[in-house]
Structure 1
Amino acid sequence: VNIAPQVFKLANEYTHILGPSTTFGKDLMPHIAALLGVNQISDIMKVLNSHQFQRPIYAGNAILTVEASKNHVVVATVRTASYKAAKENNQATIEVFTSNIKPPNHTRFIKHSSGSSDRPDLQTANIVVSGGRAVGSSENFEMIYKLADVISAATGASRAAVDAGYVPNEMQVGQTGKIIAPDLYIAIGISGAIQHITGIKDAGTIVAINKDEDAPIFEVADIGLVGDLFKIVPELHELLNS
């Protein structure tokens, strides 16, 4: 919120103001759009031209083409999972801006705290192992962590597992969690609700392990294993560990 007035002051010098479709971006960009008096475009997944974009709707089941007015600054969030990361040796020009704008005082920063982990970051990892409600408990999630550690993967979870208290919110994958696009996604005990599928639709290869052969997750999985996760996961861990 405090950054929005500073961006607003610079807005007229630019034609487009873009932010990521992350918690930070989804909080900041609407404030900027409101100050400018323009409509924000959310979750851009494809750029057609300077003012036409595509974005997912209905939990990713349909793609909407939207056109921004050419008479106003375009304010939008970009779905980062829809784009490959730029090469590290690319050199972008960074301009330093010094602001003398007094920020709003109705909110204030107190502190920043987040969970720490030696595992890769969930949103940027090449491999992600996620567990669902069928894992059964926070104690049983240890086998998810162990499997992930063997293959240097990040760990995630379905909303059902988060709501059940098995894992913290920061691990949630899906429409109301993190949108990810790893090269390999392993879904263990996840039924495949549409909200979860939305968060992994850009993954390279999806592997699903579930005892219910009719689970929706198998409709999008590239590889499916029907069986008891409490037997399959330990066996898989042993094979990979050896």
Structure 2
Amino acid sequence: MIPLRHTLLLDFDGTLVELAERPDAVVIDRPLKALIGRLAGTFRGRFALVSGRSVAQLEGFLGETLEGVALIGSHGAEIHIGSSRVTPVRPPALIEAEHAIRAMFTNREGIVVEVKTLGVAVHYRLAPEAEPATRALVQSLAIDNGLAVQEGKMMIELRAAGHDKGSGIAALMRQPPFAGTVPVFAGDDVTDEAGFVAVAVLGGLGVLVGPERETSARHRLDDVSAVRAWLEQAA
């Protein structure tokens, strides 16, 4: 059970929902929606999703379920708390880079190009042999356009620089009702490591989801099912 003076921060893919072969194919079941609703009530506004997905994508998946839930999207660049909205403008350089990525991969079998508010992710889960070419293009575009590269599970993303999940969490924790509480953040990917560091600095703790590996998280849960069971106790 998480004490009521804590803030609950959860990654989405691989933490709340199982990873899918395509980013638009994740399954949002009714028990999950009900659980999110109960957690929003239990934590009284001190509950946030922290995702590499854009806020618009999260809202598309969860809709009204997100009432009372803060959102950190686009790897920390977007922060939505109640009626407060921070959403930077999409850089022109990212738009140009997106065109180059689409030109190379749109017709490549097994490659999924995911366009986000402040990023473009290339998923090669269905075509692992394409990893070298994918990585080379994204890294070249990052250098040429002053953008950041974000690694992930069987994907690589080109995104606006200057933000990560750690910076997003730090900004969130300065705002009411989060300020002065102890953050607990659960995530599964290397993209979540900055978040684990941020909550540790604030006196909180990170929870790694998945197999053991080198991490800044102090605790670990085996998988999405274990996360759900833990959250059911907290709710």
Q: TM-score, normalised by structure 1?
A: 0.35
Q: Is the helix fraction higher in 1 or 2?
A: 2
Higher relative contact order (CA 8 A, sep 6+): 2
Computing the radius of gyration from Cα coordinates, the structure with the larger value is 1
- Normalised to the residue count of structure 2, the TM-score between the two structures is 0.35
